[in-house]
Structures are given as C-alpha cells and as structure tokens.
Structure 1
C-alpha cells in the first residue's frame, strides 16, 4: 500500500531493525539501490536492508564520485527509497561532506530523512572511489572527532566507519585506525579495497564489532560469495553499484536496438510489462485514493 496512507516506520525503528539484522547469525546481504525503483525490486526479491552508494547516486545524476554532491541531495534520494520500501537503508555519506561541523549537519539531515545507518570514510577531500589510486586520508584524530560528533548529534544513527588506509598506509595502520574508530563509537567497520582472503581474515582477527565487506565490480577485491565472507568473519556484504551498472547497460542495449532497427520490439522480453510495473509501484493503490480517477483495467497482454 502507498506510503501516503500507511504508517511509515520511524528512524529509530529502522535503525533498530538494521542493528538486529547486522548482529544476527549469518551474513546480511545488502544490495545497492541507486533509486526507489531499484529499492522496490530488491524488496520484492526478499532483501531486508538496502544500501545507497555515493558512486551510484552521483552516476545516476551524470556526475563522477568526487565529492561534488551535497548532503541534502543524498538525503533526498535516500528518503525516496525509504518511503517506497519502508526498509532500513545504509547510506554512504562519504567524508561527511566536510569537516567536523559539516558532519554534524549531515548526521541530523540523515536522521531526519529516516536513514537507519550511515557509512563514514576517512578520506580527505577531494575524495575518490575506494578502489582507485591517489587517495588521501585525514588524521585518525579528525576521523574519531567525526564519529563522536555523529553520536552526539544523532545518537540513533548506526555508524559504519570505513577506512581506506590499506592502500595508503598499509594493513597495520588500517587496523590501528579502526581500533580507534571503535573506541570513538563506531558500530561497525568497513575495510575498503582489501585484496585477498588473508587480508579479510587478518582484519577480522582484530575487530570486535560487526564487519562489512564491499563486493563491488571491477575493483581490487576478488569475487567472493556471501557465504565465503561469512566464513572469513564478516557480518555484512554490500553490492554498491550493481543496480546502476546493470541499468546503464540495459539502457545502452535497448537504445542500440531502437537506433539500429527503428523499434524496441526485440527488447520486449527484457522489459517489465505494464502490469509488472504497476504492481511494483502500487499503481492501483494510489489510484484508489482518488474516487474521481477511473479504475485502470489492463489486458492479459499488458
């Protein structure tokens, strides 16, 4: 049923659901959903939590992942996903969109948007994708200040602290950093761009809070299955840009069909039908709210 009528879960409730999911036995698979439609499809498949990637969100707006969007813009997209799905969402807030004071504002914006959890990284601006070269880090002290600020201004937000230190300072320094982040209040740890099972296991030996693995495509990390990450000691795994990449390639294929053949008819088997689309977006529920709107009747072919 539509969120306009249904009572939506509050931020604290969504955060509690996310915490329960990440602390339960097994591994929590969290698909990246770059928009509300992707979120609805993920929910239909059976996922219980969603991820909004900064890289996927910016790409969906035709922009690179270089820290050039604002916290308000990200919060607005996350709000769309939460309204559509009523699922807990983990949101990538990059560096917090600035210094410690900026992080305070970002945290409150995310909390007010109903976001369950935020992912904060220790890169310096201008930031880069975690699987690329040329990253720069802020000090451990500044990162811990940011974590403490989130706890102070939005205590119900779950904090997933990400470190990019493995590629910049090495594994030992990365482990030292996350130890400090946990002491500052991080609820979970995300070691970015690890390159082998040995590295994943090494991290797991030194971390006492839930661990998140990043199973992105075309990156530094080999393709491990969720069960393999669980066996390495991880409680969560994200697939951050998968939905965006698949959608973009689908756009390319169908537009090529239209350009080359003058029709999209050959691509129909790869499309949602009108009935499937309307079911996904609860079309008839919305329509039913206004008695002045004639009830839509679809044929079997639609």
Structure 2
C-alpha cells in the first residue's frame, strides 16, 4: 500500500514530467498487466486503448468501445496499482460537452492523466491508415472543456493530434501549438514516419509544452533509442502494446503445446509456478489481512 504521507499519484506524475529526462510508461490493458508493470519497477503505467479494445472485445482499435467501458477498465487498473495511471480517452466520446463528462469520470476513477485526440468519431488506432481529423476549432473547444472540467489541477490533459497522416507535419505542429494555447499540459504528435520528422516536431515544439513520444511497437514511427528521445527533449514515452503482444505470443505457445500434446506439461517450465503467480497477484497480502481480522 502507498505511504499515506507521500505525494499522491497525480502530484508524482507532474513531478516526473521533465523535458529531456523521459518518463517511461509501459502499456497495460488490464489490472494484471498493470501490476506487472509496477512490479517491474516503472514509475507510471499507460492504459492503452488498443490493448483495452483487444482485451475486452477481441477486436481492433477502431472506435468500438464506449467511454463507460474505457473508464471501467481505468478504474480497475487504478485500484490494482499505486502508480500514476495515464489513460487513453480517445476522442472524449463525443463533442465538448461529452468531454466534460469523460474528464470528470476519468478523474473520479483516480486516473492521473487523460489523453484526448483530434480524430473524428469513430476513431482508429493512430498507426492505422485512413484516419480523419475534426476541424481545429472543434478540438480546441474540447481541450478547453477538458481543462475546465477537471477539479484537481494536478490531473493532466494530454492533447494528441493525428494530423501528420492527414495534413502533414506542418499542420500537426500548428495544431499542437494551438492545443498548448488552449490549455493542454502535454502535447502528443502521433505517428511521424521518419526520424527527420520526429526531430522537426521536437525542435519546433521545444519549450511550448512537454512532449509525448509514442514508441508504438511495430508501428509507423521509427524506434528511437531512449538516449535519442532524451536528446530531442521528450518528457514522456509510451510503450503501448508490448505487454499485449508478449501475452499473445505466450498464450499462443501454450495453446500450441496443449493442442499438440494433449497437456500443457512441456510448456510449464517457461511459465510462473502456481505459487509464484498467486504471490505476484497479492495472496501474501490477503493472508496478512486474514490474520489481522481473524
């Protein structure tokens, strides 16, 4: 359990956002993956919309989930860890009025930061083709609505633009600048396709607001080193789907063994033992509570 005298997750997250010293936030798609991120020693966790969609529906990230489904997943993740949770809020699930409710429900769920994007509804994963974006004034209204709706000033608003794929880098940079003027705390330019584009975006937005880099595993953006991302001034780096892809690979392997052999015995040496797994999901804590309240 967290120390009651220590700063809360939102304050800790604000303190960890420093341009040039990137905070790493691995993706989690459920409470278990979030616990594993925490146990691995990271300082923040990112609730991925891509992974949440895959985990809850078994379908691609093309705007299928509602805001209620997303915030319910966020609430479970927040309850499972003491880390600041950065949560994908997609488009805000409607217009600026819907954004007000989305921000309020995410904040009530205990999330430390919400990410909002400028795609039309239904949206698509930022690394998919055929995206479309809303007019700039509409997105600025959403950002103003988000900043007005939050009750805790430490609750961060991350504004993402998908304009690179639709209108080019110039438009994306212009949008990001406007997002900062509207009150966004961090800026997220999604899916630049070359290191030169990343360098240009970072250079033109330096000093405007802290920047987010989406290290989307297998996505369109080149996989920069942590050192290079720090040199470019990024403050937050998301690794959204590595845990999801790793879990998928592991489950495939176990199921292949089970189908081939009729039992999973040959795969067990590569898996956590039953006791190890119950330990990592907190059974010792439960045993302690049982003794305390017996």
Asked if residue 220 in structure 1 is aligned to residue 215 in structure 2, the reply is no
CA contact (8 A) 1:127 1:135 kept: yes
Structure-1-length-normalised TM-score? 0.90
Asked if residue 199 in structure 1 is aligned to residue 197 in structure 2, the reply is yes
- Aligned equivalent of 2:188: 190
1:100-111 superposed matches below 5 A: 100-111=96-107
CA contact (8 A) 1:123 1:138 kept: yes
- Aligned equivalent of 2:233: 233
Asked if residue 75 in structure 1 is aligned to residue 83 in structure 2, the reply is no
* Structure 1 CA distance for aligned equivalents of residues 293 and 110 of structure 2: 31
Asked if residue 34 in structure 1 is aligned to residue 29 in structure 2, the reply is yes
- Aligned equivalent of 1:87: 83
- Aligned equivalent of 1:256: 256
- Aligned equivalent of 1:299: none
- Aligned equivalent of 2:164: 166
CA contact (8 A) 1:8 1:86 kept: no
Range 267-276 or range 181-190, more displaced: 267-276
SS of 2:209 mapped into structure 1: coil
- Do the aligned partners of residues 192 and 8 (structure 1) sit closer, same or farther apart at CA in structure 2, a change above 3 Å counting? farther
Aligned counterpart for 1:15 among listed residues 7, 10, 32: 10
Q: How big is the shift at 1:155?
A: 4.4
- Do the aligned partners of residues 293 and 264 (structure 1) sit closer, same or farther apart at CA in structure 2, a change above 3 Å counting? farther
Q: Deviations over 1:67-87 (max 9, x none)?
A: 121222211211211211111
* Structure 2 CA distance for aligned equivalents of residues 183 and 155 of structure 1: 20
Q: How big is the shift at 1:216?
A: 1.0
Q: How big is the shift at 1:233?
A: 2.0
CA contact (8 A) 1:158 1:187 kept: yes
CA contact (8 A) 1:201 1:233 kept: no
CA contact (8 A) 1:93 1:118 kept: yes
Q: Deviations over 1:151-187 (max 9, x none)?
A: 1111432011111001100111111111110000011
CA contact (8 A) 1:9 1:86 kept: no
SS of 2:144 mapped into structure 1: helix
- Aligned equivalent of 2:40: 45
* Structure 2 CA distance for aligned equivalents of residues 29 and 291 of structure 1: 37
Asked if residue 129 in structure 1 is aligned to residue 115 in structure 2, the reply is no
Q: Deviations over 1:236-287 (max 9, x none)?
A: 1111111111111111110010000111111112211123212211102113
* Structure 1 CA distance for aligned equivalents of residues 62 and 37 of structure 2: 27
Structure-2-length-normalised TM-score? 0.93
Range 52-61 or range 283-292, more displaced: 283-292
* Structure 1 CA distance for aligned equivalents of residues 284 and 125 of structure 2: 41
Q: How big is the shift at 1:291?
A: 4.8
* Structure 2 CA distance for aligned equivalents of residues 155 and 196 of structure 1: 38
* Structure 2 CA distance for aligned equivalents of residues 24 and 205 of structure 1: 12
* Structure 1 CA distance for aligned equivalents of residues 83 and 20 of structure 2: 20
* Structure 1 CA distance for aligned equivalents of residues 141 and 36 of structure 2: 37
